[in-house]
Structures are given as C-alpha cells and as structure tokens.
Structure 1
Amino acid sequence: MNVSATASSVPELRPGSAAKSLRDVLVVTRRNVIRTIRIPEVVVLSLVQPIVFVLLFAYIFAGSFSLPGAANAAAYREYMMPGFFAQTIAFATAGNSSVSMANDMQSGMVDRFRSLPMARGALLTGRTLADLVQNVMVMTVMVLCALLVGWRIHHGALRAAAAFALLLLMGYALSWVGVVIGLSVRAPEAAATSNFLWLFPLTFLSNAFVAPSTLPTVLRWAAEWNPLSATVQATRQLFGNPGLAATGAWPAQHPVLVSLSWSVLIAVVGRTLAVRRYRSAGT
C-alpha cells in the first residue's frame, strides 16, 4: 500500500519533454566540468600549454615565416595570432572530446547513463558543452598572453566579441567530431592517436600561419575552402589584424558567412553521427 502510494506520488518521466532533456544536459555538463576541475593536472596543463605555444610562435617562429605585406615580425604576430587561437581551440576541443568519450566508453560509464531514464543525447551534448566551458577558459588565457606579446584588437569590442564567438562555435562543432571518434574506438589511446590524422591537415593546410597565395594550386584550393581558414580569415577581419591573405576565392571574400555555415554543418552532421553511434554502441 505504501509502495503504491509512493509510486503514484512520483511524477511520470517523459523522455520527450524539452525541459527534461535540457535538465539532463545540464546535469551531464556539470558532471563533466566538476570531473575536470577535480583533476588539477588537466586544468593546469590545458592553461599552461597555450602560453608556451604563444611565446614559441611569437618569439621563435615569427622571424622564420614570410608573409606578403608584412614588414616585420610584429606584423606577422598579428597575422598569426588568430590562426593560433583557432588551432589551439581545435586541438583542445576535439582531443578532449574524443579521449574523454572513449574513456567513458571503456569504463562502462556510457552503459550506466544509457540505463537511466534520461534523454538519449544528453550525455553527448553535455560532453560538448563541458568542452565549450573549458574552451572559454583556454581562450581567456590565450588572449591575455597574446596581448602581452603585442597582439591588438583594432575594430572595437563588439566585433571582437563576434570573432571570439566564431572561434568558440567552430570549437564546439569540432567537439562533435571528437565525440564520434571517441564512440568509435576501443581505447582512449586510439582516440588520442587518431586525432592527429585529421587535425594536423585541418590546421596546417589552412591560412592559419601562411598565406594560401604562397601554396601550389591544389594545396591553395584546399586551404581556401578549409573550414578553419574561413574562421581564421573572419576573425582577422573582425579583429582588424593586418596581413590578410591576398586571394580572390569566394570563401576569403565572405569569411564570416562561410565560417558560420561550416560550423553549423559540422555540428549538425557530427551530432547526427554521434547519436546514431551512441544508440548502436550498446546493441
């Protein structure tokens, strides 16, 4: 009798409810953020690494690259910094998403979440949102360090905020690629290794560090249509940094639109594949 009364007093769970799905996502996001904070080594390394790379590129590599229209190393730093922002966000997001998801798969955490009355995509969305929170912290550290080495914003706070939003959106989209990889491999080590197979071509075959006009024809075409190139070009325009790549390609002429389109497309396709893989992982 008591059991029946207790059961009748519990509100019925409706998996399709938007409010419940949002609550599930926030719970998983909070779990992942707290889990990261409780591992100080991860937090420290994720914040120290961007500082090391900024100093490395600004004071060692800046004088080794040639850029059309750049008179000195200081001009190249302003050209390089938006590309470095994008590269760091791409590596940090996709790498963390894939390894963390593979870790959850191997430890059985995914099976535990699957057995709970929660939205099916909450675990995946919570994972990507937690990475977005971490990216905000990494971006803050990078910007402060970049300002110290001479990088500047020339077009005001609103356009700068739009540039940072594009970088974070691109990182969020790539985190879904990392989730797909994490759900597809058998071990976190395999996830970490597989990231290099697509992140290196994505970041270095772009306009992040060299002007596409200096590349051979085929590589120049690939760099011009690279999703990362569109984001980097858009942020350079929004920040007002000098040394814009001299190219008449359509993506270079409409970088903000192309960056938004690529990020939304990657996020939608990545989420679709991730949910499909998540459902089939337990069968």
Structure 2
Amino acid sequence: MTAAVLDSWVITQRALAHWGRQPGRLAFGLAFNVMIMLMFAFLLGGAMKVPGGGDYREFLMPGVFVMTMLFGIGETVTSVTTDADRGVMDRFRSMPMAGSAMVAGRAMADMLYSAVGLIVMVVCGLLIGWRWHGGFAAALGAFGLLLLLRFALVWIGIYLGLIFRSQQALMAVQTLEFPLGFLSSAFVAPATMPAWLAAVAEWNPLSSTATAARTLFGNPGAATDSWITSYAVPMAISWPVVLVAIFFPLSVLAYRRLSR
C-alpha cells in the first residue's frame, strides 16, 4: 500500500513538473474560465432573472465553480491521450510499480490543478461582488462538494483518454462539455425552463452540486419544490460517489489492458 502511494506521488510530481515547464497552457485554461464568468456576469447577466429574486451574479458564481470543475475534464483527457500516444504509459507499465499508480498519480495532479483553478475563480467572484452568506464552515462544505465533483470527473476523463487514446477523445469531450453544462442549473434556473426540460436539468449531477453550493453559500436560486433540489446536498455527495465507483475500476482496468 505504501509503495503504491509513493509510486502515485512520483507520477504526480512528473505532471507538476510538466506544468511548470508549460505555464502558458495552464494560464490559458484559467483565463478561459474567467472569460466565461465575465461573459455571463456582464454581457448576458442583465437579461437573466433569478426566481424568487436576488442578484444574478451571486446566483451565477456557484454555477461557474461547477463549470470550472467540468472544464477540467479536457485537461485530464489531453494529458492521458498524450502519454498514451507517446508510449509513456507503456514504459511505466514495464517498470516495477503499482498498476494503479499511473492513473492515481494523474488524478492527484489534476485535483491539485483544480484546487488552484477554484481558488482563482473564488477570487474573481469576490472581485465582481459575489459573497457567501452561510458561514465559513458551510462555505468549506460547498468547496468540498465542488472538489468531490471534480474528483469524479477526473476518473471519467482518465477512462475516456485510455479508451480512445487519441485527440478525437478530447474533441468529443470538449464538444459535450457545453451542452452538459448548459443543460443544468449552472447558468439558468430550471424554473425558467419548460417543465420537461427543467426535469432533465434538475437531474443533471452538475445541478445537484450547483444547487448544494448555492444552499451552503446562502446564494439565491437554490429553493424549488422538486424532490431532487430539496435534497441537493445529499445528491451532490451521492452522484460523485456513484461515478467514482463506476469509473475508477474501469480506468484501472483500461490502463492494465493498454498493451493487449
């Protein structure tokens, strides 16, 4: 067990070293998230209404945090497919190291990057007037749920990268990120949608995390009459746990089958 943890940490350090040599790639990813936030806050936000009243920017920021976690899938898939294409994973497989170390190290590195990205977006949110009102402990709980969602999405990204092992996987993921994000409560309250579409949006796992974050931050737009929204916090825990239970073993299995 200790050897597996150490092997995973070596892979994490390798990823961090690569990012240190390619700061532009990380800066672009962070700048993209900031651009999305500014576009909705200042360009489109004037036309947005929050059911029950409240400032749209405060409604927006928990959704932006969720989208920041979602957009991280592209970084995960890019890193995994690049290593697979260059034969890096085959070389690691030939070494005396734990079979799960490569994927676990990748997950650890991406979680560190996501934590940095979340901090950047929190600072940007504070600069445009967003605040949390539910107390510091509740805010920490909201940040924890956001990172839990990202942890689940990391394993989805690793699995997709290992299965497709080409840039086609990245293109497919980036194509699906926006529809998946927009078909949620990240930017628009489901109450403003047609009933059938609102039901789909509310059952989107991203919506559970966004609504739970709004609840814990004390931001507007969290309260609705639907069952899943009323239990947003438990669902924001349950969805990621289920996704990890599915995609973690699938990722390890796909990694072990790479050379077959």
Shift of 1:116: 0.8
1:268 to 241, 245, 251: 245
Range with bigger deviation, 207-216 or 76-85:
207-216
Is the Cα–Cα contact under 8 Å of residues 33 and 130 in structure 1 kept in the other structure?
yes
Range with bigger deviation, 178-187 or 123-132:
178-187
Matched, 1:123 2:102: yes
Matched, 1:80 2:67: no
Range with bigger deviation, 192-201 or 100-109:
192-201
Q: Which residue of 2 aligns with 1:229?
A: 207
Is the Cα–Cα contact under 8 Å of residues 83 and 208 in structure 1 kept in the other structure?
yes
Q: Counterpart of 2:257 in 1: which secondary structure? A: helix
Paired amino acid for 1:28: I
Q: How does 1:1-283 map to 2 (within 5 A)?
A: 18-70=1-53, 75-91=55-71, 93-187=72-166, 189-246=167-224, 248-283=225-260
Give the Cα–Cα distance (whole angstroms) in 2 for the partners of residues 196 and 245 of structure 1. 31
Give the Cα–Cα distance (whole angstroms) in 1 for the partners of residues 177 and 255 of structure 2. 23
**In the superposition, relative to structure 1, how do residues 50 and 64 fare at CA in structure 2: closer, same or farther (>3 Å)?**
same
Give the Cα–Cα distance (whole angstroms) in 1 for the partners of residues 29 and 179 of structure 2. 22
Paired amino acid for 1:125: A
Paired amino acid for 1:277: A
Shift of 1:200: 2.5
Give the Cα–Cα distance (whole angstroms) in 1 for the partners of residues 131 and 217 of structure 2. 8
Shift of 1:225: 1.1
Which of structures 1 and 2 has the bigger CA Rg? 1
Normalising by structure 2, we get a TM-score of 0.96
- Corresponding residue pairs, total: 260
Paired amino acid for 1:84: V
Give the Cα–Cα distance (whole angstroms) in 2 for the partners of residues 60 and 245 of structure 1. 26
Give the Cα–Cα distance (whole angstroms) in 1 for the partners of residues 41 and 189 of structure 2. 17
Shift of 1:51: 2.4
Normalising by structure 1, we get a TM-score of 0.88
Deviations 1:131-180 (A, max 9, x none): 11001111111111110101001011111111011101101110111111
Shift of 1:33: 1.3
Give the Cα–Cα distance (whole angstroms) in 2 for the partners of residues 207 and 51 of structure 1. 19
- List runs of 5+ in structure 2 lacking aligned partners: none
Identity over aligned pairs, percent: 40
- List runs of 5+ in structure 1 lacking aligned partners: 1-17
Deviations 1:183-218 (A, max 9, x none): 11242x212211034322321111111111222233
Give the Cα–Cα distance (whole angstroms) in 1 for the partners of residues 223 and 32 of structure 2. 27
Is the Cα–Cα contact under 8 Å of residues 212 and 222 in structure 2 kept in the other structure?
no
Give the Cα–Cα distance (whole angstroms) in 2 for the partners of residues 59 and 116 of structure 1. 52
Task: Give the root-mean-square deviation of aligned CA atoms.
Answer: 1.4
Shift of 1:125: 1.0
**In the superposition, relative to structure 1, how do residues 230 and 132 fare at CA in structure 2: closer, same or farther (>3 Å)?**
same
Give the Cα–Cα distance (whole angstroms) in 2 for the partners of residues 220 and 53 of structure 1. 23
Range with bigger deviation, 210-219 or 157-166:
210-219
Shift of 1:243: 2.5
Is the Cα–Cα contact under 8 Å of residues 211 and 245 in structure 1 kept in the other structure?
no
Is the Cα–Cα contact under 8 Å of residues 50 and 220 in structure 2 kept in the other structure?
no
Give the Cα–Cα distance (whole angstroms) in 2 for the partners of residues 268 and 198 of structure 1. 22
Is the Cα–Cα contact under 8 Å of residues 212 and 245 in structure 1 kept in the other structure?
no
Paired amino acid for 2:179: P
Deviations 1:249-272 (A, max 9, x none): 222111111011101111121111
Give the Cα–Cα distance (whole angstroms) in 2 for the partners of residues 182 and 48 of structure 1. 24
